[in-house]
């Protein structure tokens, strides 16, 4: 089975535009179709170090290390990866690091995979329990503003922020056989 792919949408382009304009130096990620445009753009941009992860919690450490080294890093992940990060989020609280993650949601709109439901439903609450401020966006025309607000809250105000990119943005996943 292979996922159906499409050209980058305007909201995906807006996400990369915000990160680039905000001076992001590193983008850490586990490969994900919803983040594919940002990942490809980071790989192609010589000013940005793309860091492919084996598991999402490594990204919390990458972002923290980048901050200690005077750089800005963002973690891209799917909602199912949030559960993998819970213990590592304690690093952010203990050391009071700023943090910004962009989370593509699963287990919501037109989800076909029952395994995605439980963590999709728990993502926001799990982040909030770990002291991470959550912003959510579901309309393409709001993506640039919400991602920009989250990025600024992290890197100007020192907050820990997660921007949840609703499954409606990505659309109904279809699999070809």
Mean pLDDT by 10 residues, the chain (177 residues): 54 97 98 94 97 98 98 96 96 97 83 69 94 97 98 98 92 64
User: What confidence score (pLDDT) does residue 109 get?
Assistant: 67
User: What confidence score (pLDDT) does residue 128 get?
Assistant: 98
Could you tell me which CATH number the domain at 2-176 has? 3.40.50.970
**CB within 8 Å of 175: residues ≥ 6 apart:** 1, 2, 3, 4, 112
12 half-sphere exposure, CB direction, 13 A CA radius: 22
> End-to-end distance of the chain based on CA atoms, in angstroms?
5
| CA angle (30 as vertex; 1, 142 as ends), nearest 5 | 95
Q: Beta 49-52 vs 26-29: how paired, if at all?
A: parallel
User: What confidence score (pLDDT) does residue 117 get?
Assistant: 62
Domain range summary for the chain, segments of one domain joined by +: 2-176
Q: Is 56 exposed, middle or buried (0-12, 13-18, 19+ CB in 10 A)?
A: buried
| CA angle (151 as vertex; 159, 41 as ends), nearest 5 | 140
User: What confidence score (pLDDT) does residue 120 get?
Assistant: 73
User: What confidence score (pLDDT) does residue 122 get?
Assistant: 84
The angle that helices 143-155 and 10-21 make with each other, rounded to 10 degrees, is: 20
| CA angle (85 as vertex; 32, 48 as ends), nearest 5 | 50
pTM value is: 0.91
User: What confidence score (pLDDT) does residue 75 get?
Assistant: 98
């Amino acid at each position: 089975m292979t996922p159906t792919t499409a050209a980058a949408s305007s909201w995906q382009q807006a996400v990369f535009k915000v990160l680039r304009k905000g001076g992001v130096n590193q983008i850490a990620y586990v490969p994900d179709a919803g983040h594919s445009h940002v990942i490809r753009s980071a790989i192609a941009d010589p000013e940005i170090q793309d860091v492919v992860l084996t598991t999402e919690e490594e990204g919390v450490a990458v972002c923290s290390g980048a901050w200690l080294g005077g750089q800005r890093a963002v973690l891209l992940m799917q909602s199912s990866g949030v559960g993998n990060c819970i213990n590592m989020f304690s690093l952010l609280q203990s050391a009071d690091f700023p943090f910004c993650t962009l989370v593509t949601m699963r287990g919501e709109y037109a989800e076909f995979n029952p395994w995605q439901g439980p963590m999709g439903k728990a993502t926001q609450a799990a982040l909030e329990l770990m002291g991470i401020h959550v912003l959510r966006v579901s309309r393409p025309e709001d993506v640039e503003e919400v991602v920009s607000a989250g990025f600024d809250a992290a890197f100007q105000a020192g907050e820990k922020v997660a921007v949840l990119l609703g499954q409606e943005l990505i659309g109904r996943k279809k699999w070809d056989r």
